[in-house]
């Protein structure tokens, strides 16, 4: 006789889910999503609709000195002069007094230097159109600077945050440490990542934004934002043994913020079309925490997903579960 087991399984949790587009949906963890737009990344542990986090561009402090506009970094003036960097004596802000020869030529620079940023605790990153170079001991008050490694990379769209330089180009989002080691951060979304013409950050919350994408430095997750309406697609649940499963209900665990709320969702088995939309209304009661189940048209296959197309701003989801009936190899052979 067929052998089956009906049980509740966790589909998604650990919100907000990070975007991962370069792996099969069945390989994603419950806290990952193959596609989502406009979720709130400030509510740790919850899935709720949101908007692009507030970010600002990075800029060094500027000083109007007697030789023109200079950058103020490591207690001295710095000024870009094509492929050369002029540096003044420590402590002088309004008047440029050269210390020693007072300049550092960047021999590998092909053109004009475009950006200077700190790097690590005492170094500086020099950026131009197709390369960057590190200057070590840039904070040394005696001017004992050392030219570090030259890195051939397009990094003009960059910023400094917590000791690292982050930059974005057509290949992805990257970070550079004080040793000149480059780490690609956008591997999870490499096939869909498109850098913007600018890069900004929320320097308090540690979010980096370029184009439609936001990278959370603390959680190492990516999120996407646009003018489209909110939606969220779950990872794909699959039985451990790969045998067919039947799903007959979806349950949502949530907290209210205020007022009534509604969830609208669809389901999909394997690569079939998305189902009709299901609507769940939640009447608000002060201090209420809910777990609400919705019966769906049962379907059978080897993987299952949920797509939330509308989520009231009054609702914060904590977990999505599905009622599954799994079949053993013996039952599938009947």
Question: Pairing mode, if any, of strands 32-33 and 18-19?
Answer: parallel
Give domain 56-224's CATH superfamily: YVTN repeat-like/Quinoprotein amine dehydrogenase (2.130.10.10)
Q: Once rounded to an integer, what is the mean pLDDT over residues 278-298? A: 82
Give the pTM: 0.91
Q: What is the DSSP string of 165-198?
A: EEEEETTEEEEE-TT--EEE--GGGTTT----S-
Query: With bands split at pLDDT 50, 70 and 90, how would you rate the model's confidence at 287?
Result: low
Better pLDDT: 238 or 239: 238
CATH architecture of the domain with range 4-32+231-332: Sandwich (2.60)
Q: Once rounded to an integer, what is the mean pLDDT over residues 175-184? A: 95
pLDDT averaged over every residue in the chain: 91
| pLDDT of the residue at 289 | 66
In a 3-state reduction of DSSP, which class is residue 215?
Answer: strand
Given a contact cutoff of 8 angstroms between Cβ atoms, the answer to whether 12 and 28 are in contact is no
| pLDDT of the residue at 3 | 52
Query: With bands split at pLDDT 50, 70 and 90, how would you rate the model's confidence at 331?
Result: very low
Query: Would you list the domain boundaries of the chain?
Result: 4-32+231-332, 56-224
Structure-token match 């009936």, residue found:
325
**First-to-final CA distance of the chain:** 8
In a 3-state reduction of DSSP, which class is residue 77?
Answer: strand
Of the listed ranges 25-34, 73-82, 147-156, the one predicted with least confidence? 147-156
Q: Once rounded to an integer, what is the mean pLDDT over residues 265-284? A: 92
């Amino acid at each position: 006789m067929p052998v089956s087991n009906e049980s509740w399984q966790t589909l998604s949790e650990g919100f907000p889910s990070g975007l991962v587009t370069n792996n099969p949906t069945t390989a994603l963890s419950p806290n990952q999503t193959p596609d989502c737009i406009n979720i709130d990344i400030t509510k740790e542990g919850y899935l709720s609709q949101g908007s692009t986090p507030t970010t600002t561009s990075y800029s060094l402090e500027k000083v109007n000195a007697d030789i023109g506009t200079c950058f103020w970094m490591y207690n001295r003036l710095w000024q870009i002069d094509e492929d050369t960097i002029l540096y003044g004596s420590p402590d002088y802000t309004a008047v440029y007094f050269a210390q020693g020869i007072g300049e550092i030529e960047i021999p590998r620079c092909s053109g004009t230097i475009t950006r200077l940023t700190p790097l690590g605790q005492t170094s500086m990153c020099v950026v131009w159109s197709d390369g960057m170079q590190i200057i070590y001991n840039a904070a040394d008050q005696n001017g004992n600077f050392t030219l570090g490694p030259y890195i051939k990379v397009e990094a003009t769209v960059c910023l400094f945050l917590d000791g690292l330089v982050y930059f974005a180009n057509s290949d992805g989002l990257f970070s550079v440490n004080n040793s000149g080691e480059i780490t690609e951060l956008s591997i999870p979304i490499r096939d869909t990542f498109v850098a913007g013409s600018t890069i900004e950050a929320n320097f308090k919350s540690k979010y980096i934004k370029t184009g439609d994408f936001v990278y959370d430095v603390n959680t190492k997750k990516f999120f996407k934002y646009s003018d489209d309406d909110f939606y969220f697609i779950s990872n794909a649940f699959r039985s451990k043994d790969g045998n067919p499963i039947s799903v007959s209900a979806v349950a949502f665990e949530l907290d209210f913020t205020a007022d009534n709320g509604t969830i609208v969702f669809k389901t999909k088995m394997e690569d079939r079309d998305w189902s009709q939309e299901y609507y769940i209304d939640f009447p608000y009661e002060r201090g209420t925490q809910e777990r609400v189940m919705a019966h769906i048209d049962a379907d059978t296959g080897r993987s299952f997903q949920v797509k939330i197309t509308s989520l009231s701003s009054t609702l914060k989801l904590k977990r999505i579960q599905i009622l599954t009936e799994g079949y053993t190899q013996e039952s599938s052979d009947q």
